[in-house]
Amino acid sequence: MPGDAASGLRWLYDAQDRFLSEVAGLDDTTMFELRPAHWGESLPVVNVVSLMLTEHVHHIAEIGALRDLHRGHARTRPPFADA
Q: With a cut of 70, say whether residue 75 has pLDDT above it.
A: no
Task: Compute the average pLDDT of residues 7-12.
Answer: 89
Query: What does the domain layout of the chain look like in residue ranges?
Result: 5-75
Q: With a cut of 90, say whether residue 73 has pLDDT above it.
A: no
pLDDT digits (tens, 9 = 90+) for 16-31: 899 999 999 999 999 9
DSSP string for 14-69: HHHHHHHHHHHT--TTGGGSEEE-TTS-EEEHHHHHHHHHHHHHHHHHHHHHHHHH
pLDDT in the model for residue 82: 64
Q: With a cut of 60, say whether residue 83 has pLDDT above it.
A: no
pTM of the model: 0.66
